[in-house]
Each structure stands twice: as structure tokens, then as C-alpha cells.
Amino acid sequence: MVQELQQPSESGRPASEAAPPPRSDNNEEWRREFPYPWEEDEIVTRRDTLRFLLAGSGALFLVTGVLAILGSLPGGSEAKAVAIAKEGELAENAWKVFNYPNEYGQGILINLPGHGLVAFSDVCTHLSCAVLYHGDGKLHCPCHEGLFDAATGNVLAGPPTRPLPAIQLARQNGVIYAIKEIAR
């Protein structure tokens, strides 16, 4: 095998490796067609971005802590008297639903034989369904078949694990008032 020697060209390269064609400066042409004011550009560095993210995270952490502390502080006077019935209005084993402590919360007033008037929040402690009284000494939650004792509010059966909050009652001038909800 005979190998041909190539003569170097004037540029010092072999003749088979020709120099690339001269290139026009497309970069300058692009800059003329789409001018950008580089002098007015404010470059945000990675360090600036990190400072912003760290300061923002710290501020959110502090605000969350403050809100958690404020939420755990006891409120003002929780006693709020709301007229819910008149004396003698409910017959034995009769019941009545009333708004307490505001129009968004409800309670149930029951006239139990042998116990008199008792009141509880009518919101089931399992998944917040409204409980009903059927006259058998039990409050029934129709959503998941929970049962509560109508005299004490304690759980008798079903998925609820906590008793119903009791509502303290007061009588004055022939009117029954709901005074305070007692969480248990």
C-alpha cells in the first residue's frame, strides 16, 4: 500500500482540509433587527434570588407562628344568652332545634322524661352531620349510624368517639336561654 503524501496549503493545513468559508457576522445583524437596551437591564443574581426566597420563607414562618399563638389564646366571654324556648312549650319526649351560638351553629333542646330539659350541639362529633331525636332516649346520627345518650350526650354506638358538646341552660321569666356551649 502506497500512501499519498499531501502537500500542506498556505495555511499549514493539508489541501483536503480547506479553510471554512468566511462567515458574516450574523450576531451584529440580529442585534440591529432586535435591539435590546442592555444598559437598562437589571440583572438579578442567584444570590439575590436566594436572599428573596430565604427572607420570604422566614416571614411566612414567623406569621404562621404568630397566628398559631393567637389562635390558641382563650377568647373573651364565651357566655352568650340566647332565648330558645318558653317554659312548657315542649311536651315530654318533644324536641326543638335552635340556632346557637350564632346563625351558623345549631343545638337541640329535648324534654326528656325524668330529666327535664337538656340541650346539646346537634353536630355529630364524627363528620358533622345533624343528629336527630326519635323519642327513645337516644340521639341518632343518620349519616353513619352513630348513637348518643340523650340525657348525657355520651357516645353509645357507631363511629363517633367524642360526646356531644353540652349547652348550658338558664330559666328567667318563663323563657329558656342557651347560655354557654361546654366542649367535652
Domain ranges of the chain: 26-67, 82-182
Reported as type and span, the H/E element at residue 69 is helix 46-72
Tell me the average pLDDT across 112-118.
Answer: 89
Architecture of the domain made up of 82-182 = 3-layer Sandwich (2.102)
pLDDT tens digits along 131-151 = 999 888 899 999 888 999 999
**pLDDT exceeds cutoff 70 at 63:** yes
* The one-letter amino acid at 128: S
Does 84 score more than 70 pLDDT?
yes
Q: What is the pLDDT of residues 156-171, one digit of tens each?
A: 998 998 999 999 999 9
Residue 95 has pLDDT above 60, yes or no: yes
What pLDDT is attached to residue 104? 83
On the question of pLDDT at 121 being above 60, the answer is yes
Listing DSSP states for 4-33 in one string gives PPPPB-TTSSBTTSPPPPPPP-HHHHHHHH
Pick the more confident residue, 10 or 133.
133
Q: Which residues contact 133 (CB under 8 A, 6 or more apart)?
A: 95, 108, 110, 139, 140, 150
